[in-house]
A and B are shown apart, each in its own frame.
Chain A
Amino acid sequence: MLDLIWLLPTLPLLGFLLLVLTEGRLGKRVAGSIGAGSVGLSFAVALLAAISFLQAGVDSHVVPLWNWISVAGFSPGVNLYLDGLSLVMMLVITGVGFLIHVYSLGYMADDPGFSRFFCYMNLFVCSMLLLVLGDNLLLLYLGWEGVGLCSYLLIGFWYDEPANGYAARKAFVVTRVGDTAMAIGLFLLFAQLGTLNIQELMQAAELEWAPGSALPAITALLLLGGAVGKSAQLPLQTWLPDAMAGPTPISALIHAATMVTAGVYLIARTHVVFELAPEVQLLVAWIGLATLLMAGFTAMAQSDIKRVLAWSTVSQIGYMFLGLGVGAWSGAIFHLMTHAFFKALLFLGAGAVILSLHHEQDIFRMGGKRRQLPVGFLCFLIGGLALTAFPYTSGYLSKDAILLAALDAEGPGFWLWLGGVVGAFFTGIYTFRLFFLVFFGASRGHDDATEVRGLAMLVPLFILMGLSLFGGWIPVPLDAVFSHGTGHEEHHVSALLHGIMIAAPLVGIAISYFCFASGPKRAEGLVALPGARALRRFWHSGWGFDWLYDALFVRPFVWLARVNAKDLIDSCYAALVAATRAGHAWFAHSQTGNLGWYAFSMALGLIVVLALGMLS
């Protein structure tokens, strides 16, 4: 059974090919069955493979498919590698992916690009599976770029609107900046260790590199570059909020549950290199902390329902980075999994709300919708509680693991923990600000809203509700993968600190209730304070990063390109041509046809030559 995991990426790939080659001529029923069915089958295979993997009791299993490239000792194969980590990832990708595909059957039912949508979605699932199953970094890179491509295609899915195209290109180019750093990391790894096979690399790195030396630090930094790009962490976080231009199921699948967490996967997968570079590992923690706080502030100032969730995703991935940085490898992956459940739920719930309200996304034009949209209400209540780490929801268990590990970490551990707790407090505020503004208070528009119907959309929502509440009890078989790390953590913290951790988000919820439960009026009083408006604008813009990058990179590049559109080098050749022509014209003047002039110039020339001869 284990050898059949090649079917995992193959089934969605076949779905993609079928949908491409039929060019949208299939009926919606058939196209939808292919699109969702291929991922469903893939999930079934993944489940069976997971069961037999756990029963077999092995640490890992390799399925070699074919030799991809073999040149001068460089021989990455197309080989799939299954261990506890890729097992968790493949189940999340196919499981949550399947639910989102089914939901999309309802959500996209009226879209003329229905078949194209599922075509891209299937390609995405295929690439994402290759990313997590590849046994070498080149195959991982293939999946890595593949998901980036699908992200681009799906953000710009409604291509008529130039703004969507802009958001799509921004996502692709910004992540490619990180990808290029990662590619250079691969060159360095191969030049130093002579392979790109991940397991061999990790063994060779441990043998050949001294902890704390320069090479692992540089390598880890380059890999981190790729990770911050893909996972939208500082300083490459700017693309994710704009990525919300895509259809909402995309935001749930790509920009919440799977692709954006690929950076977390990459670092966890290469954790040995990070352990050899403790400064860089600590940097991962600080990046995570800075991002989660910055994104928390930003989320509080958003008015678009999807942008609140997008910034919340950035913030939650910040927690995962924080976990990786303090060596809580399992905790980070655990949070990745629970986050996939509750953030997919929130996004799909948001999709239901948006669809019910005729594509309204501004939370200030909603209000009091809990009676009209009971399912949406339930989604946001459960998803919101899990997101804010309400005790014993899935998000609580995973966030707890990360924060406790931070507290245990040496050096700045306490400050990392404190920052994380402050972030949890913000999470409480922004999550329930959204919740209260949409579902409580007086209605501020769309009184005619009726909730979406249809099992295709509702069943995935209810399953995700269950997973958000109880998914934290799913055991993750990661101990064998991270035997180097802190392992299975037993934390002893004082009841006071633990109490603070639990209370922080609840206080946030209470503040949100006070400010927003009866509508935005009370909060407007706060905004009226001196300086608050400017601060709000600053947060709303995502701390001015877009402006900064625009001024630093985009404008200079475009300016440079525009002024040199005619290619400066070409004018050198044009000057050569002009000089030749001028010389030609000048000499042509001497051709007067006047015999006296010819005789005179001949005589003059003779004198000059003779004079030169005598003088020298």
Chain B
Amino acid sequence: MIVPWLIALLFVGGLLAWASERFGAEWPRRVALAVLVLELLLLASLLGGSLQAGWLAEFNHAWLPRFGISLHFAVDGLSLLLLLLTAFLGIVAIGSAWAEITERTGFFYFNLLWTLAGVVGVFSAIDLFLFFFFWEVMLIPMYFIIAIWGHENKFYAAKKFFIFTQVSGLLMLVAIVAIAWFHYLQFGFFSFDYLDLLEVDMSRNVEFWIMLGFFLGFAVKLPSVPFHNWLPDAHSQAPSAGSIILAGVLLKTGAYGLVRFAVPLFPNASAEFAPVAMTLAAISILYCAKVAFAQADLKRLIAYTSVSHMGFVTLGIYAWNELALQGAVMTMLAHGLSAAALFMLAGALQHRIHTRDLFAMGGFWRHAPRMGAMAMFFSIAALGMPGLGNFVGEFLALLGAFQANQVLTIVSAFGLIFASVYSLWVIQRAFHGKFPEASLDPGRLPDLDRREMAYYFAMVAGLVWMGVYPQSFLDLSAPTLQALLEGQAVLATPGAPQP
């Protein structure tokens, strides 16, 4: 029963935040923060549940029975991890918007919470129609966040974001309807329920085309080369809170879709398709690392590195063994934190010096050592320093992928070298070297204050935890991944209610 409340809380909280603007411009952010803290606590209450006995929480209620569509939500260890990440990064996003967003604050926090509501729905929907509904819900508020509070080229970026995701969403909708139709042909009744659809047998050709529809829908979101072009524009133009949610959470919905739906629903087609997907992953890793290195716009650079890191996720998913999948999930979590932190830093810099141009920066360490130290930490995390979460993720993904495809794994491993090239280049350009005395007054660059430091420390702690004792996270996702590898929705069914 708790899952619908998780979503309703965000929807209602969003409306409340909007309404509270009448009491003052600073009220919406307080309401939003309270809502997300409550959300995080609700999610934490699920942590005590037994992972072995099916879902941690489930809710099933008929919606459009004629078409076999129901409000079927369920949360297991994998979803819970991603939900916790969502709520946590939502709080971080509020922290980043705290001082940055000063206009139409009510509508801003409304959009933020509604996007997150969509994400929570995506991570917990088990009915595919419902899944698609939430897939769209997270898109539209994000469009507004970019188009209204974005930077100099915001309309172009927002439109591009919308069209890319909308077209891919359309392909996915066609694929969802198609698989439901084949379910009807086989069983004589309509169902959009994931558990039912897992049973559908399809001919090789049909399975391949429907799988492709799902894959494209998720590959655009992920994003994978060659569908990544919406991301650098959206990221660089969005306000930092938008970038944090985009990089930290929205990209992960694509990866989640692949793990939960695209591969399990079409195991044979996916196995055939795996070399293609892994090749795209390897290209994403190397190509986007190279493009990232050439960017002068700090946020654009980080955006390209996100595509590169998500390549490890795709690689791990299509290797389809436990090591690689755990690596993919770990990379999703760790990249969520490290990318969010880097975007928050980029936003903090832009808020202070009003530019994202790396060539207008330099020597900032002297005047803002805390900022420098944080940038160093998260860059080092992103380039895969052992002892931090990203390393565990990428190492496990590669270790598992090596057992599936040695050549592509070796090619992808070169991404580790490229990652060090661009990460250290950012540090050099912005924080080392000489301060541009002529064009910039050091007084405009106050160091991070206590409130900001609290957010960064939380993310530092998260990454260290993931790096030093990743078992806390691996144990949560393990039952789900093991079940998926065996072609089941949940590992053991005795505790799960029958539909």
A interface residues, Cβ below 8 angstroms from B: 20, 23-24, 66-72, 74, 78, 138, 141-142, 145-146, 149, 152-153, 156, 159-160, 162, 165-166, 168-169, 172-173, 176-177, 179-180, 183-184, 186-188, 190-191, 557, 560-562, 564-565, 567, 569-570, 572-573
Contact = CB atoms under 8 A, between A and B. Distances in A.
Interface residues of B, number: 55
A303 to B, nearest CB: 27
A191 B369 contact: no
B323 A74 contact: yes
Given A146-B387, A159-B432, A172 B424 contact: yes
B208 to A, nearest CB: 25
Interface in B391-444: 391-392, 395-396, 398-399, 402-403, 409-410, 413-414, 416-417, 420-421, 424-425, 428, 431-434
Determine the main DSSP class of A at the interface with B: helix
Interface of B: 225-226, 228-229, 232, 290-291, 293-296, 321-323, 326, 363, 365-366, 369-370, 373, 376, 380, 385-387, 391-392, 395-396, 398-399, 402-403, 409-410, 413-414, 416-417, 420-421, 424-425, 428, 431-434, 468-471, 474, 478
Contacts of B470: 68-69
Contact of B425 (A169, A176, A179, A188): A169
A71 B402 contact: no
Given A177-B417, A187-B399, A70 B291 contact: no
Contact of B226 (A67, A156, A569): A569
A163 to B, nearest CB: 10
A160 B434 contact: yes
Contacts of A153: 376
A159 B365 contact: yes
Contacts of A565: 291, 294-296
A186 B391 CA distance: 14
A288 B290 CA distance: 34
A567 B229 contact: yes
Choose among B229, B232, B322 the residue with the greatest number of A CB atoms under 10 Å from its CB. Answer: B229
27 contacts: A24-B369, A68-B468, A68-B471, A69-B396, A69-B471, A71-B322, A141-B386, A142-B386, A145-B391, A159-B363, A159-B431, A159-B433, A160-B363, A165-B432, A172-B420, A173-B421, A180-B414, A183-B395, A184-B413, A187-B399, A187-B409, A190-B399, A561-B291, A561-B293, A564-B290, A565-B291, A565-B294
Contact of B471 (A70, A166, A191, A569): A70
A139 to B, nearest CB: 8
A304 B291 CA distance: 38
B52 to A, nearest CB: 17
B326 A71 contact: yes
Contact of B398 (A68, A162, A183, A561): A183
Contact of A567 (B291, B391, B403, B424): B291
B413 A183 contact: yes
Given A562-B294, A567-B232, A572-B226, 16 more contacts: A68-B468, A68-B470, A69-B396, A72-B323, A142-B387, A159-B431, A159-B433, A160-B434, A162-B434, A165-B433, A177-B417, A183-B395, A184-B413, A187-B413, A561-B294, A567-B229
A570 B399 CA distance: 32
A66 B370 contact: no
A156 B432 contact: yes
Contacts of A160: 363, 366, 432-434
Contacts of B294: 561-562, 564-565
